[in-house]
Copies of this chain bind each other. A is one copy, B any other.
Amino acid sequence: MLHVAEAARVSVATVSALLNGTATVSPELTQRIEQAIRDIGYKRNAIARSLKMGTTRTIGLTVPHITNPFFTDVVSVIQQAFDRAGYAVMLCCTDEDLNTQDEQIRLLLDRMVDGLIVARVGDGGILKGIVEDANVPVVLLDRLCEGVDTDAVVLDNQRAVFDAVTYLIHLGHRRIGYITGTSDISPMHDRMIGYREALQAAGLPVAEELVRSGNFHEIDGYNATMQLLSLHDRPSAIFSANNPMVIGTMKAIRDIGLNCPEDISVACFDDFPWSDVFAPQLTTVAQPVQAIGEQAASLLLDRLAGNRDAPPRKLVLKGRLMIRNSCRPLGAVAQTVSA
């Protein structure tokens, strides 16, 4: 900017004023400055600007795994929304590890991000302190966090699983296996409640041996399914509360020599683009990823626009059961039901 000012024979203050429109600059100087900018190929340094202004027009976004199709989609939507608003997005993957998350959040804060969208992990770690300090607005994504009272966008997980399991029950299933991620995060917790309540509402017992938990990965779904399928009285249906784990479920079913849906019905959380082109077409609970991403972005953008004092807002969106053909009616029991 100094060079521009010299070339245009004005002060840097005038150049800055012109660039920011913070004061009127005479046509003559405007012309000289613009010429100088073109000649020199000047680009304003956003770092210096950030230092002075205390704002970086950059936000931080952390998710557990970007390869989970739910997060892929949401990240994509969020990225687009902030792009439109002229913000850059720093993306971090925490790998479901609290220490990693803490480290990355620190890294983001060091870089003075203006805001944070977090699909948190573990108990939230340093998140609590950050929200309390209230210097940087935080929006929780997909997962609430106990003791962290801030804006959030989540699904009505309990209801979504309740509906899905109720659907299985209506098909005649009585022993329904349930595969969950670690229950320290709110969606897994709520989904589990939905499962139990659906069984209870139908007057069915909750058999603890039918509930298995793993660490969100394909292999965990595989192992959990193997265990379920080797029970002496094995379930006739399996609901997987997590998308990557259902791949493991399908592989386990295949490896053990069974077929879906003939031998065992499967439904799972999170829809994905392939779900209705291959066989079996998986029955899933689809999350409104577009809305989730957009709402999270707009909550944060609203805070960034200066609306800091409004009380925390929690948005709860509804899932949608996409019924396809991976769950079959159980003949005998179906008759019992219709009898």
A interface, CB within 8 angstroms of B? 43-48, 50-51, 56, 58, 65-67, 72-73, 75-76, 79-80, 83, 86, 88-93, 95, 104, 106-112, 218, 244, 247, 250-251, 254, 272-274, 276-280
Contacts and interface: CB of A to CB of B under 8 A. Distances in A.
Nearest to A66: B76
Contacts of A273: 67, 218, 244, 247
A225 to B, nearest CB: 12
19 contacts: A43-B106, A43-B109, A43-B110, A45-B112, A47-B51, A47-B56, A47-B111, A56-B111, A66-B75, A67-B76, A79-B92, A79-B93, A80-B95, A83-B93, A89-B91, A91-B91, A218-B273, A272-B274, A278-B279
Contacts of A83: 92-93, 104
A251 B277 contact: yes
A91 to B, nearest CB: 4
A198 to B, nearest CB: 26
Contact of A250 (B58, B65, B278, B280): B278
A201 B280 CA distance: 38
Nearest to A46: B110
Contacts of A73: 67
Nearest to A72: B72
Contacts of A65: 76
A24 B29 CA distance: 51
A229 to B, nearest CB: 15
Contacts of A279: 278-280
Contact of A47 (B90, B112, B278): B112
Contacts of A274: 247, 272, 274, 278
Contacts of A44: 110
Nearest to A112: B47
